Amino acid sequence: MTGTADDARAGLLSSLTGKVKEVAGAVSGNDSLAAEGQLQQAEATARKDAATREALARVEGEQAAQTLAEERAAADRERARVDAEAAAALTATAVAAEAEKEAVQARLAREERERVAEADAAAEREVQRVAAEARTQHAAAEREQAQAARLHDAQQSDAERTADAARAARAEADRLAAEADVPTEK
């Protein structure tokens, strides 16, 4: 990596070279040379901006590292304080925890009995609901079966009437055919 002064010199030289090309292109009417000069100047400006941002980032990184070190030290002190308080609180709560444990066990046993009773009641309601639904479905199935039987009987009657009409039509056709076979007298 080159030093900052070397980078500055290279950037200045590139910018000046670009300006010279731009002026020479403008004077000579060579648009390509003028555009190349402008491009070289823009590139030098971009490098300068990048170097500036890099230097700022390096300074900010150093500041962030210092801040982090300070915050870690403060966090270590706070952690030590909290650990001491926690140890004191642990000792104080150990006695209370035993009494609380018995109270909690009694409450849990009562709640378990209540949950079992609620579950039994819910199961009974579900059994009754399912039974009522089954009765409703059974009644609907019986209605559908009766309707299907009525429809079948009606269709059977229609089929019999159609068969009777077909037999009558055949008989009439046979009679007409027989009459057609009889010679007529002249």
pLDDT recorded at residue 97: 82
pLDDT recorded at residue 65: 92
Signed CA dihedral, 57, 60, 66, 72: sign only: negative
pLDDT < 70 positions in the chain: 1-3, 182-186
pLDDT recorded at residue 34: 86
pLDDT recorded at residue 79: 92
Of the candidates 33, 51, 39, the one whose C-alpha atom is nearest the C-alpha of residue 14 is 39
Note the pTM of the prediction, 2 decimals.
0.34
Per-residue H/E/C for 2-20: CCHHHHHHHHHHHHHHHHH
